[in-house]
Amino acid sequence: MARTYGEGTGSVAALAGVSAAFARGTFTAVMGPSGSGKSTFLTCAAGLEPPTSGRVVLDGADITDWDEERRTRLRRERIGFVFQGFHLMPYLTAAQNVGLPLRLAGRRPDRVRVSALLERVGLGERAGHLPAAMSGGQRQRVAIARALVADPAVILADEPTGALDSATAASVLELLRGCVDELGQTVVMVTHDPVAAAYADTVLFLVDGRVAGRMDRPTATAVAGQLARLDEWVA
């Protein structure tokens, strides 16, 4: 798919042509220099904005031409989001935050399921806490439980460890890895961090809005080496 912003001579091709498929139960990291189109890619994949050309297929359904209302419903029910800044509602408890996507979709969150998810992310004891009373790592765990609550087709994570220290980041990444290995979830994660990317099965490298490379079974060292080569290429 491709995505252009603006028209005529002032237009920018944020995505020039990216073709990617994410099989169920896989963990993919998306990397690339600043401005390479990673955020645009996630935005289009999430159905937040339609691509200028190309198609977006989620769970077997081509959502490209769906209207905004239908795409919003799809995002609430079929996509889990995890952001760098957690995006929790400050006046809702951990349990209420986890249940929120279901409430927004007009469904009543099942207490047992919400408790089981909080237990799964290691926060069984903190269901009644507000985000302000939790550490960054704990907040991100709440966000991951929230991303799982609707049993989505895919979890899209945008720099999920960008605001965390390395030990906390490792535990969050292990949690995402567990979602894939133990729950069969599909995770697509944008990251700048080669250590984070090494938790994925595959790394997709973007440069200038195109897929410039792909690495299976990545290690942090191999990813860092590849990024350095891409930077030289861009420079």
Ligand X SMILES: Nc1ncnc2c1ncn2[C@@H]1O[C@H](COP(=O)(O)OP(=O)(O)OP(=O)(O)O)[C@@H](O)[C@H]1O
Q: What is the CA radius of gyration of the chain?
A: 18
161 binds ligand X (CB under 6 A): no
**Which is nearer to ligand X, 47 or 109 (by Cβ)?**
47
Q: What angle do CA 15, 20, 25 make, to 5 degrees?
A: 135
Cβ neighbours of 25 (radius 10 Å): 14
Place of tokens 């984070």: 196
Question: In angstroms, rounded to a whole number, what is the distance separating the alpha carbons of residues 23 and 1?
Answer: 18
Q: Write down the least CB distance from residue 204 to ligand X, Å.
A: 12
Q: Write down the least CB distance from residue 10 to ligand X, Å.
A: 9
* Interface residue with ligand X, options 1, 32, 134, 207 (CB under 6 A): 32
Q: Which stretch binds ligand X (CB under 6 A): 4-12, 62-70, 140-148, 197-205?
A: 4-12
218 binds ligand X (CB under 6 A): no
**Which is nearer to ligand X, 113 or 210 (by Cβ)?**
210
Interface positions, 38-97, toward ligand X (CB under 6 A): 38-40
Question: In angstroms, rounded to a whole number, what is the distance separating the alpha carbons of residues 143 and 147?
Answer: 6
Q: Which residues pair with 205 in a beta bridge?
A: 31, 213
194 binds ligand X (CB under 6 A): no
Question: In angstroms, rounded to a whole number, what is the distance separating the alpha carbons of residues 73 and 129?
Answer: 28
* Interface residue with ligand X, options 20, 26, 35, 136 (CB under 6 A): 35
- Looking at this protein, which amino acid is placed at residue 228? A
162 binds ligand X (CB under 6 A): no
Q: Given the rule CB under 6 A, which residues bind ligand X?
A: 5-6, 12, 14, 32, 34-40
